[in-house]
Amino acid sequence: MVERGGEVGYTWSVDVDEAADRLYGMVPEEFTSARDALAKEAKAAGDAALAKRIKALHKPTVVAWAVNRTARERSEELGRLLDLGRRLRDAWRAQDADALAEAGRERTPLIARLVRSVRETAEEAGRPLAPAADLEIEQTLDAAVVDEDAAEQVRLGRLTRPLGYSGFTPAPIVRTAPEPAARKKPGRREAEQERHTAEREQHTAEREQHTAEREQHSAERERRIKELEGALAEAERAALEAERGRADWEAERAEAARERERRTARVETLNAKLAKAKDKLNAAEHRLEVARREETNAERAARSGCTRVDEARAALDEARSGHE
């Protein structure tokens, strides 16, 4: 990831896509520490913008991680589902009823097999999924079939949470039989049947209208939920950035406190050495003062001794002269 070149320093060799590929292939418990380590290395290499983008990558849920891992380890199996989704969307755009019906028949069993594959992939990694995870996996795979953007997210294997789809799902086209060219005038019984048929068709139309209204309401509710989820995600990102900033300054404060403790200990050591040096200086000054005093006394004693010697020599000379 980072190459050290002696005195040259750091050379960063990972972009955000490669970092994301590595991170979203890890189990969720390892994600945060690995992401922060990559961001730290990018920052040390002098790429603060890349470090910020890596830090912004979100930890996946367990289900999202399992789908991501399946996209990496069973890409061929997932590819069949994504190919089915492409054929289904093409058939819907072309209004090809036969192709839609065929894709619809393949869809359910293929998704069921992939749900089992996601479970098996998670178990092989030592992280078996809860029974309730099947619904989230199925919704994610179904979204990949219907929606092209969802298919690309699943294919890349970088999901942070399960996907869902709230739009209209492509379904086979119902073709109605043409009206006969001419009809006989209905009798009383036929008229009664036609009346009942008309009433049933009216009730059916009303139910379909109510269903459409419910679907519209549901779609609006899902849109609102997505908006709120987006706002929540943005708030969580902002809170995470603030927390990271706080953590950075907390680390800076702790380092400054440790530096102050080191400097304080050094000053105390130097003060102790200075106190000892002052004591030795005072002792040397006292010794010098005593030596000077004793030197003065010795000089006086020496002069006094010289005087006595001179006096004794003079008295001896005088005594010798009188004897002669």
Angle at 309 between CA 305 and CA 314, to 5 degrees: 150
Question: pLDDT digit of tens for each residue in the chain (324 aa)?
Answer: 444 333 334 455 678 888 888 899 888 899 999 999 999 998 998 889 999 999 999 999 999 999 999 999 998 989 999 999 999 888 888 888 888 888 888 888 999 999 999 999 999 989 899 888 999 999 999 999 988 899 999 999 989 999 986 554 554 444 433 444 444 455 666 666 676 666 666 656 656 665 666 666 566 667 667 666 777 776 777 777 777 778 878 887 887 888 888 888 989 888 888 888 888 888 888 888 888 888 888 888 888 888 988 888 888 888 888 776
Query: Which residues, at least 6 apart from 213, have a Cβ–Cβ distance to it below 8 Å?
Result: none
Choose among 94, 28, 22: nearest CA to 54.
22
Torsion of CA 131, 135, 140, 143, to 10 degrees: 160
* The pLDDT of residue 248: 75
* The pLDDT of residue 214: 65
* The pLDDT of residue 196: 64
Output the pTM of the full model: 0.50
Helix (H, G, I), strand (E, B) or coil at 10: strand
* The pLDDT of residue 12: 57
Residue 85 corresponds to which tokens in the numbers above? 């989704």
